[in-house]
Amino acid sequence: MTETNTSKSKRKRAPSQRALATKLRVFDAAETIFAQRGFDGATIRDIAAEAGEPVGTIHHHGGGKNALFHHTVARRAETLSRERLTALEHVVSKGDPTLEDLISAFIRPFFKLSDEDPRWHHYARLVAFVSADDRWREISKECFDPVAEVFMHQIAGLLPQTPRKQVAEAFVFSVSAMLALLTSQHRIGDLGAGAELENSQIDHLIRFCAAGFRV
């Protein structure tokens, strides 16, 4: 095969901008529908309607419902992990990080991403579903556990007398509290404390989580 033919073959295999845009719509729609209705309440037809695409297009880009849910959760996990590890590297590089510093490095990137793009609030709901349902343990292991292990190792280093089990419990409680603030801000408003997310609430969350590790 000549060099020209090889180049043409590569161009044919590369997805077009139109195909990439369609795939993005499919996963954005899946994220929205799964966040609103949960895995069991969502249907491929719902997702197709949200995306403005035929059902066949949803299957083409996402596979079946299980595979589509997995892909939808996984697609933002790398960005979140990278932001968290960058924040951790920053606080560690300054020397002698506190427990609050480590928890902040884990928690604040999610709020930062959500502030920059509201679709991350939908993603937070997906993460909450994955965290609460044993069906998705493999997704958690793939997408979230590697970074969780890095942070737990750092936290355990500050709490050498605390059993690993207790560190793990406090970490899971902290993740649950973070997801609650990301997804249920209206409850704070309903209880009379203002509906808008404020930095002071995130600061309070970090102190709350740190106290849980020290119990």
- Domain end, chosen from 42, 63, 84, is at 63
Confidence band for 13, pLDDT divided at 50, 70 and 90: low
Q: Is 0.85 surpassed by the pTM of this model?
A: yes
pLDDT tens digits for 47-89?
999 999 999 999 888 888 999 999 999 999 999 999 999 999 9
Mean pLDDT, all residues of the chain: 90
- Domain end, chosen from 63, 95, 110, is at 63
Q: What is the pLDDT, as a whole number, of residue 94?
A: 94
Task: Kindly state whether residue 71 falls inside one of the protein's structural domains.
Answer: no
In percent, the amount of the chain with pLDDT more than 90 equals 76
The CATH number for 175's domain is 1.10.357.10
Q: How far is CA 115 from CA 64, 70, 84, 182, in A?
A: 31, 24, 15, 10
The CATH number for 13's domain is 1.10.10.60
The full length of the chain comes to 215
Q: For residue 84, what are its two tokens?
A: 């968290």
Q: Which helix (H) or strand (E) holds 98?
A: none
Q: For residue 152, what are its two tokens?
A: 């737990």
Q: Are residues 40 and 93 in the same domain?
A: no
Q: Are residues 98 and 184 in the same domain?
A: yes
Task: Count the domains in the chain.
Answer: 2
Q: Which residue carries 């990278």 as its tokens?
A: 82
Confidence band for 19, pLDDT divided at 50, 70 and 90: confident
Cβ atoms of 27 and 75 closer than 8 Å: yes
Q: Are residues 9 and 80 in the same domain?
A: no
Task: Kindly state whether residue 105 falls inside one of the protein's structural domains.
Answer: yes
Cβ atoms of 162 and 156 closer than 8 Å: yes
Q: Are residues 98 and 194 in the same domain?
A: yes
Range of the domain at 137: 76-214
Q: For residue 138, what are its two tokens?
A: 């493999």
Q: Are residues 181 and 97 in the same domain?
A: yes
Q: Are residues 106 and 196 in the same domain?
A: yes
Under 8 Å CB-to-CB from 54, ≥6 apart: which residues?
48
pLDDT tens digits for 110-152?
999 999 999 999 999 999 999 999 999 999 999 999 999 999 9
Q: Are residues 104 and 200 in the same domain?
A: yes
